[in-house]
Amino acid sequence: MSLDVINLEGTEDTPKIILDKNNGIFEISGRSLPEDAADFYKPVLEWLEEYSKQANEETNFIFKLEYFNTASSKLILDILSKLEKINGTTITWYYHEDDEDMEEAGTEFSELVEVPFEFKSY
């Protein structure tokens, strides 16, 4: 089964999401404060479940979030837990250079899952 590309434009309360196996692009960026985070991220989790059965040799998943609410943080952990089971996964966690809270949030996630994290400020 081939995996369709997920390409969602960001809005004022939902992030931009690109999941593209063929081009090796996996990215969530922007703001995440949807009314129903579980519902919003359901397709992403389903996509990753399918991807895990046919994953690329390397998967570099990029998080470049400006803001996320607590409900989204739970779903981000669910995404990371899925990625944890995929061999060759690395996470790149971007944070704005003066955003200590976003840097700390990334550090906390990195302590909760067994996936290599790389931190980059912008």
Partner 1 sequence: MKYIYELHKTMLDRSLILVYEGEFTQEITKSVLAMAERNMDAIGEDASIKRKVFNVMVECLQNIVKHSDEVDDDLYRGKNSAIFMVGKQEDMYVISSGNPVSNDKVAILHEKIERINNLDKDGLKALYKDIIKTGDISPKGGAGLGFIDMARKSGQKLQFDFEPINNRISFFSLKTIVPRTKESGKDD
**Footprint of partner 1 on this chain (CB under 8 A)?**
12-13, 33-39, 67, 69-71, 73-75, 77, 96, 98-101, 108, 111-112
Shortest separation between residue 66's beta carbon and partner 1, angstroms: 8
* Spatial separation of the C-alpha atoms in residues 67 and 31, rounded to whole Å: 5
Toward partner 1, which CB reaches closer, 55 or 65?
65
Using DSSP's 3-state secondary structure scheme, residue 26 falls into strand
Toward partner 1, which CB reaches closer, 46 or 100?
100
Q: H/E element holding 39? A: helix 37-51
Toward partner 1, which CB reaches closer, 21 or 64?
64
Shortest separation between residue 89's beta carbon and partner 1, angstroms: 19
The structure tokens listed for 38 are 């579980």
* Spatial separation of the C-alpha atoms in residues 52 and 81, rounded to whole Å: 12
